[in-house]
Structure 1
Amino acid sequence: MQNRSIIRAFRTQVTPLPKPQSDFSHKTVIITGASSGVGKAAAQQFARLGAAKVILACRSVEKGEAAKKEIEAAETVAGVVEVWPLELGSYESIKAFCARADKLDRLDVFVANAGLMSSQCEYYEGYERQTFVHAIAPTLMVLLLLPIMRKTLEQTQSLPHHVIVSSNGHMYTKFLPGKEESIFAAVQGDRDMRLRYYDTKLMQVFAVRELAARMKASGKPLIVLNMVDPGFCQSDLMREKGWELPIRIMMGVADKILARSPDSGARTYTMAAEAGEQSHGMYLEDCGFSTPSPIVDTEEGKELQKRVWNELVEILNANAPGAVDNL
């Protein structure tokens, strides 16, 4: 396990990560938010490493098609990259996408890469959108994709992976709502929007850890579910207007000096997508095993994890009946 410190964070940020050497021949990969940034770079890496099918799950099909052309030209491949529409702010779009994926011959890797950081409060399906995209949507997709992944394992004996893209930002908040307060109600409205990204990323960590534990306890063939932080990367995460000028200037300078290239950040994804069973439920970064925020393993953290999960189950049972039964 890696120990955290400012020095280590700086050192690993500027030290080149190992180039992936894995073989993804015959495998099918889905990546959300893959029309730009680290998601697109990851799709290109999977294509370079021999994947038979790389599906770009994109909100904008037009941008997805442009990314497809770039990837196929750069890697000299044809017929490998596909673009599927996915609106991560819609239950119906998520369910339709996963129903389509369920008809694939196989599905080996699902990378939940899409995310957003916003100072503006808006809603998807009645929930603040960062909450929906970071906590609700990836949990639902993992559950809905479990059947095709178990089928893949049975037919190929190749271990499939769910890779949830996390963030060290979850360490910048303690997120301790009152014991009687709904977790998901605590992240509604425009209160503390500066911390909303961090809060929802911590909620994501809780959700993934509980889901991973329940998958393992189910007694069914294990599909790996892990989390990976790609580090500080050049991306359009803060693409939305609304951030104050000093923050934009600071991030612009940091982007030039410290940020990893999208290709470097994507190396953490391919590492997570080949990590063995020992990575199940684990937090990965810098192409190695790491640890999440210290709060996660405290008694308060364990209680929060159960509360996040129980509320998520209620939400999913109401809006995607049967999904939780896939566990």
Structure 2
Amino acid sequence: MSFTDVFFGFLPYFFHSQLLIKVPYPTTDCTGRTIIVTGANVGLGKETARHYVRLNAEKVILACRSAEKGENARREIESSTGRAGVCEVWSLDMADYNSVKEFAKKTRSLKRLDSVVENAGILTTNFKEVAGNESTITVNVVSTFLLALLLLPKLRESGRQHNVTPTLTIVTSELHYVTAFPERKAPSIFDTLNNPKEARMSDRYHVSKLLEVLGCREIARQHSVSQTGVTINLVNPGWCHSELDREMSSPVIRFVKNILCRTTEMGSRTLTLAGVAGPETHGKYLSDGHIMKCAPLVEGREGPEMQRRVWAELAQQLESIEPGVTKNVAA
């Protein structure tokens, strides 16, 4: 993204959104629905789960790496909403592909599955290889799409049985606007991202969020809702108070956050709304509760070829982890 795009495009939107926009309070009745929220033991995930419990969901699954923290979140949510027996804590480690597979397999036992909000993610500036990729790419991109594709058959089955269109939401970020993504010019995007000598870790989180946007858009371009049986959308919660950026905490950052950041509850409204949004949001980027344009890099001339390349490389990785998984996109 050019300086002009950032200064005259992104920053005015960012400050207006953060300081002046109040996200609508979710009111959709979720009676009878079963909803999964990943990364639900803290922050945005926990507040999103709390909204769904408040909105009368029959079952809300808190997908967490730490069972202990998940149970603490469950007790807090039940206490604050007055609804016991709604939340279940399921183990999910997004840094472990086997954990993702086991989690998805467990969902087959559910009576129904109406919505999945993929909120779990990491932000780190330290290069570390996990499961064959740099850790941010493993967690935020590969595992996120692996879980999505593994859950699509269950979502689709539930939609047919109950005559509804389930929703799968990937939590991305407005920070996808501010990366120039030079890796797109390399012969292999993922090989470049996984090369410690070339890794630009200060920009890695932004890139991971851009990859989510590109992957989701390409899936939606290739497969309509009538083919997937599921609405797949993207949501930006804005800059919120959370534990995501705890590695980069400092007195200056804490001061700025106190001025600019949304409350965690306000940010969670965007996730909650996206998770119950309809087919009109398929492949779309949602922010402040509305469909918005993606970054100029995505919407511009390079966008279509860039998203095709990203999905092709990502799909190849997913197939190596779980052969045949990409066929789950369509019925």
Q: TM-score range by the shorter chain?
A: over 0.9
5 Å-filtered alignment, 1:272-283, equals 272-283=274-285
Deviation at 1:221, TM superposition (A): 5.2
5 Å-filtered alignment, 1:1-327, equals 4-14=9-19, 15-177=21-183, 179=185, 181-190=187-196, 191-216=199-224, 220=227, 222-240=229-247, 243=248, 248-327=250-329
Residues of 1 paired with 2:305 and 2:192: CA distance?
16
Query: What percentage of residue pairs aligned between the two structures are identical?
Result: 38
The alignment of Structure 1 onto Structure 2 pairs a total of residues equal to: 319
Residues of 2 paired with 1:220 and 1:227: CA distance?
18
The one-letter code of the counterpart of 1:170 is H
Deviation at 1:213, TM superposition (A): 2.1
CA displacement, residues 145-201 of structure 1 (integer Å, 9 cap, x when unaligned): 111111111111122100100101111112133645211112124431101111111
Residues of 2 paired with 1:176 and 1:209: CA distance?
20
TM-score with structure 2 setting the length: 0.92
Contact 2:214/2:306 (8 A) holds in 1 = yes
Contact 2:184/2:306 (8 A) holds in 1 = no
Deviation at 1:9, TM superposition (A): 2.4
The one-letter code of the counterpart of 2:212 is Q
The one-letter code of the counterpart of 1:155 is Q
Contact 2:10/2:177 (8 A) holds in 1 = no
TM-score with structure 1 setting the length: 0.93
Residues of 2 paired with 1:318 and 1:6: CA distance?
40
Q: Once structures 1 and 2 are overlaid, which stretch shifts more, 138-147 or 174-183?
A: 174-183
Give the structure with the larger helix fraction: 2
Contact 1:230/1:285 (8 A) holds in 2 = yes
Q: Which secondary structure does the structure 2 equivalent of 1:254 belong to?
A: helix
Q: Which secondary structure does the structure 2 equivalent of 1:325 belong to?
A: helix
Contact 1:121/1:189 (8 A) holds in 2 = no
The one-letter code of the counterpart of 1:63 is K
Structure 1: stretches of 5+ with no match in the other structure: none
Structure 2: stretches of 5+ with no match in the other structure: 1-7
Deviation at 1:138, TM superposition (A): 1.4
CA displacement, residues 274-299 of structure 1 (integer Å, 9 cap, x when unaligned): 22211000000011111111111223
Q: Which secondary structure does the structure 2 equivalent of 1:307 belong to?
A: helix
Q: Once structures 1 and 2 are overlaid, which stretch shifts more, 247-256 or 313-322?
A: 247-256
Q: Which secondary structure does the structure 2 equivalent of 1:55 belong to?
A: strand
Deviation at 1:69, TM superposition (A): 0.3
Q: Which secondary structure does the structure 1 equivalent of 2:88 belong to?
A: strand
Residues of 1 paired with 2:166 and 2:204: CA distance?
31
What's the Cα RMSD here? 1.7
Deviation at 1:236, TM superposition (A): 0.5
Q: Which secondary structure does the structure 2 equivalent of 1:299 belong to?
A: coil
CA displacement, residues 218-257 of structure 1 (integer Å, 9 cap, x when unaligned): x5353100000000100011123xx4xxx72332112211
The one-letter code of the counterpart of 2:144 is P
Deviation at 1:56, TM superposition (A): 0.5
